[in-house]
Amino acid sequence: MDNKRVANMVHELADMMELQGENSFKVGAYRKAARAIENSRVALHELEKGPIELNGVGKGTAAVIQEILDTGQLQMLQELKAELPPELPPLLKIPGLGPKTVHTLYQSLGVTGLNELETVIEEGKVKQLPGFGPKKEKNIAEGIRKMKERPERYLLVDAYKVAEIIQARLRECPHVLRVELGGSLRRMKETVKDIDVVVATEHPKEVASVLKKMPEVADVINDGDRKVSLQVEMEIPIQVDVRFVLPHQFITTLHHFTGSKEHNVRVRRRAKTFGWKVSEYGIFDPETEEEHPFETEKDLYDRLDLPFIAPEMREDQGEFDRDEKDLPKLLTNEDYQGDLHMHTRWSDGTASVKEMALTAQKRGYRYIAITDHSQSLKVAGGLTAEDLKKQREEINAVNEELSGITVLAGVEMDILPNGQLDFPDEVLKELDWVIASVHTAFQQDEDTITKRMLQAMENPYVHMIAHPTGRLLNRREPYRVDMDRVFQCAKETGTILECNSNPYRLDLNDAYLRRAKEEGITIAINTDAHSPQGMELIRYGIGTARRGWLEAKDVLNTWPLEKVLSRLQAKKEGTLS
């Protein structure tokens, strides 16, 4: 188990103890131990003397940590959970509701779950408790509302987890000849409302029976001959629409249910110029009743005398206005050479420099950049200038040990609220790669935040601005920033802008990426990985880039290392043309 998972379990133990009303000093000892694990730059299993080596970990807490490392479980935690009402711990998921508050509600008002909590709020009993009052009662009610409120659209990554499970199960069914995902999921939109699946089969009832028997199915919304709609409870509660067609109809149906609606309208208009009609099941000649079957979507576009249009581009945003030679040759996974934004245990990551490098090497990357947080972001264990020097020694050692991949020494540096950078130039000039980011003071006005970003871009040692608008999908709106001025400054200074592959960010979004391409601004697509597994998120960044019509030449991460380093040096020297 990595440090983060162990720390999370120790934090959970402290929560359960606090729910039980345990002595605050004992609870505090476990919280202190959890923080020590989070802040350790050495993996727990690499400590020679075990967890006791960590500052803030005593004999008792060390034994608990060791049990987790040895077994992956914690008996004390399981026993505490068994002693509590089963619906009590889930109350901690309510925004703003901590274990001490839940304990008080449990002991004073007999609250054992959400239903009881809503009842005592309605009766006005919460505000009568010592130390609570009307404002706290109102805040708890608002937290319940937020927790129960389902988003209208779900994150692409969450929908994909559900969709790929269903797709895999369908592929195991002997009656399924072909199966593909459609809809906004296939077009890689950042959020989706539901999941579309297209199945080629001659036995739809048998396939439908397999789907309806899945244990995750909460409700069968529609049970027809051609379509089954299911409400599933997996990673998220989401509707799944599965359409059954005959094999010769599969491509036309897949194209139709990939969408978008606007793109499909243009396809129908195009078919009409040939005297044909288009439905979700095929293209027909109404005079001869001849049906045009297709083996691939390219065949479909060829029949309409159109160049093949990738699913991510099917939004009727100019894709029909270009000849085949003018359509972009979209970026692919194979083009990607290296990830330039990732974190290790030096700040808030879960792995060492070497572990991140080895994972990247297995993915076929030629280079990566280690970019832990800078000193002002204390909540993420930000590095001082002296820490950066020590980390550089570790990076150099990894570079000497590994062949076929190069690790660059970098930093993700805060742009401070006053516009200053977190490190002086004499520190930055020693680094291979410098990212500047806004992580604080999001509520500043547009002019102030914009000036912060522009000032960072004007520094010759700042190579890239990370997640430039600061949004978190379904969580936080972008901060107020004048992107016109940001694009202009990026163009003038040669500063790279990021498409962050974290599925909560996907920032810059597809519209901004397309604009950046038009203005000649170089984009870097990075995962912002905090663990080796985090590198898998690159698929969402590349999907967003494809929606933004980006080609390999537009993306820094597709360049050979020598060209990347030349570009970075030119920024430092002010010789970019």
Residue with tokens 């350790």: 40
Q: In this predicted structure, what is the pLDDT of residue 437?
A: 98
Residue 201 β-bridge partners: 176
Q: In this predicted structure, what is the pLDDT of residue 238?
A: 95
Distance CA 163, CA 181 (A): 7
Q: In this predicted structure, what is the pLDDT of residue 449?
A: 97
1 pLDDT more than 80: no
Q: In this predicted structure, what is the pLDDT of residue 328?
A: 96
| pLDDT bucket at 212, cuts 50 / 70 / 90 | very high
In this predicted model, what pLDDT tens digit does every residue of 93-106 receive, in sequence order?
Answer: 998 899 999 999 99
| pLDDT bucket at 275, cuts 50 / 70 / 90 | very high
Q: Which architecture characterizes domain 333-573 according to CATH?
A: Alpha-Beta Barrel (3.20)
CATH of 3-148, one of 1.10.150.110, 2.60.120.590, 3.40.50.1820, 3.30.300.30: 1.10.150.110
Instruction: Please name which of 517, 509, 505, 501 lies closest in space to residue 549, comparing C-alpha atoms.
Output: 517
In this predicted model, what pLDDT tens digit does every residue of 376-433 receive, in sequence order?
Answer: 998 888 999 999 999 999 999 999 999 999 999 999 999 999 999 999 999 999 999 9
Q: In this predicted structure, what is the pLDDT of residue 576?
A: 85
Structure tokens given for 364: 């076929």
* 109-115: Cβ within 8 A, 24+ apart: 112/85, 112/87, 112/88, 113/85, 113/87, 113/88, 114/87, 114/90, 114/144
* CATH class for the domain made up of 266-326: alpha beta
Instruction: Please name which of 347, 276, 294 lies closest in space to residue 40, comparing C-alpha atoms.
Output: 347
Distance CA 356, CA 368 (A): 9
Average pLDDT over residues 122-145: 93
In this predicted model, what pLDDT tens digit does every residue of 293-348 receive, in sequence order?
Answer: 899 999 999 999 999 999 999 999 999 999 888 999 999 999 999 999 999 999 99
| Residue 343 near residue 349 (C-beta atoms within 8 A) | yes
535 pLDDT more than 80: yes
At 308, phi and psi to the nearest 5?
-65, 135
Distance CA 296, CA 300 (A): 7
Where do the structural domains in the chain lie, given as residue ranges? 3-148, 151-245, 266-326, 333-573
Structure tokens given for 99: 């274990």
Q: In this predicted structure, what is the pLDDT of residue 461?
A: 98
Q: In this predicted structure, what is the pLDDT of residue 150?
A: 72
Identify residue 513 by its one-letter amino acid code. Answer: L
Q: How many helices (H) and strands (E) does the chain have?
A: 21, 17
Residue with tokens 């505000």: 127
User: Domain 151-245 carries which CATH code?
Assistant: 3.30.460.10
Write the DSSP symbol of residue 3: H
> How distant, in Å, are the alpha carbons of 103, 503, 558 from that of 365?
50, 21, 10
Distance CA 382, CA 309 (A): 45
Average pLDDT over residues 1-15: 91
577 pLDDT more than 80: no
Q: What is the 3-state secondary structure (H, E, C) of 376-432?
A: CCHHHCCECHHHHHHHHHHHHHHHHHCCCCEEEEEEEEEECCCCCECCCHHHHCCCC
**Concatenated DSSP letters for 482-513?**
-HHHHHHHHHHHT-EEEEE--TTT-BS-HHHH
Beta strand pairing call for 176-181 and 195-201: antiparallel
